[in-house]
Amino acid sequence: MKKEDLHGFVPAVVTPFNENGDIMEDAFQSLVDWLIGMGASAICVSGDNGESWALSAAEKGRLTRLAVDQAAGRVPVITGCSATTLKNSVDYALAAKENGAAAVLSMPQTYVLKTTRDELLSRFEKLTAAIDMPIVAYNSPRRAGLNLSIDDIGAIMDVAPIIGIKESNRDYFHHTHLIRRFSEKMAIMVGPCHYIMPGIALGAHGFIATGPEFLGSDTAKITSLAREKPGQKQADIHYTLTVLYELLMGHSTWPAAFKAALNLIGQPAGVPRDPVHAASADVVETIKKTFDDLGISYQS
């Protein structure tokens, strides 16, 4: 996979679990097919939406194989391999590679509140040496416990085959400098929904985000619309994405609200895996009310 292959709508697919915590493989492949049919240019497996923290290396490999088989060459599959230790990250990445992943998505060492530049670069150098495949970096200060600065990202690109980045920093100063400095060197994929339209307009290549799935036929048009002169259509999509992001991020423990919302529109997202509980009835009612306000159809 090359940087040119990473663009547009790249959904991070959920992992459907049943009440016993088992992966529902048929439901997972149904979701993959639905997302490709919606216009996805790649599929991201075992990311935050996929409850990566609850998956073993064998499960990540199996999900990768299921996605690759379902995609059948239509789009590449990217698999998340983030972990606190290098060994676990390598194990996850190798399982993904053996099962057909075109690239891996990797944070720096997670849950470490501080890291030196040497430690950061050593991590990506060693990961690269162990797996020998393209890497999509992932900067998520809220989830990783640390923030990759613009200079950090540049330094990582010097030691690892970084083809793109999922940028989930919520500071638009950061996005602005990232796009200006690196948009010709790698694919910049926006994370926060409310940054998608302005980010692409300024030079980002696409998005790996939560919420666009609910826009139906407009989902595949977001990237091209964002590059046009802004008008009412762009403003409406930006507003809808913003409200969806606030809704899905603002209720329950992640990704319970997202899974509940997917179930409401008829997609078999199942329930979260332990220790996360399914969204409460009150949260489901809140989702329904917001869907009503946004004109999103759902099943009663």
Positions marked catalytic: 138, 166
- Token code pair at residue 281: 């009835």
Q: How many residues does the chain have?
A: 300
Going by C-alpha positions, the residue among 170, 121, 179, 177 that lies closest to residue 147 is: 170
Alpha helices in the chain (DSSP H): 25-37, 57-71, 86-98, 117-131, 141-144, 150-159, 172-182, 196-201, 222-226, 232-249, 256-264, 281-294
For 98, the 3-state DSSP assignment is helix
Sheet holding 135-139, edge to edge: 8-9, 206-207, 187-190, 162-167, 135-139, 103-106, 77-80, 43-45
Tokens of 42: 């790649």
Dihedral sign for Cα 119, 6, 189, 268, please. negative
Q: Which two tokens stand for residue 284?
A: 């489901």
DSSP codes, 14-81: ---B-TTS-B-HHHHHHHHHHHHHTT-SSEEESSTTTTGGG--HHHHHHHHHHHHHHHTTSS-EEEE-
Q: Supply angle C-alpha 267, 271, 276, rounded to 5.
A: 140
CA 218, chain centre distance (Å): 19
